[in-house]
Amino acid sequence: MRAALDEARLALAEGDVPIGAVVVDESGEVVGRGRNVREADADPTGHAEVVALREAGRRRGEWRLTGCTLVVTLEPCTMCAGAAVLARVDRVVFGAFDEKAGAVGSLWDVVRDRRLNHRPEVLAGVEEAASAALLEEFFAGRREAGLPRWRA
């Protein structure tokens, strides 16, 4: 989770929502890193998890990430939870819960839906306070600057 928090800090420094993710293989090696790049890249799919999963797939030379763990600072949304299922990761570990858009237990539970052919293990609330603090800092800064929550 420390590596994912480092990625989130990089996103914060670049003016994007501070969410970071890493994909770790069976041996504990980080094979994919990602941070939110939606603003920087003008990419609606530029979520930290998608970026990290893409890099892991490229590095491993296949899209099946069996044996891997996706670690992310914020509970994945429906897109990212679906990507984790489709990538066949063994587990999803996340920090802060997302009561507004979380799809790993908060609003939906995509990764444990019995209708799907793959259901990763879930470990929630890891470094939850540190993950939440980065998000709170980001949005407080935007409010103090009189900026809208999201860029127009």
Binding-site positions: 47, 77, 80
CB neighbours (10 Å) of residue 25?
17
Q: Residues with Cβ < 8 Å from 108, sequence gap 6 or more?
A: 78, 81, 102
The single-letter code of the amino acid at 134 is L
Catalytic residue among 49, 55, 75, 127: 49
Residue corresponding to tokens 């980080």: 30
Has 49 been annotated as catalytic? yes
Which helix H or strand E contains 68, and what residues bound it? none
From the annotation, which residues make up the binding site for Zn(2+)? 47, 77, 80
Question: Which active-site residues does the annotation give?
Answer: 49
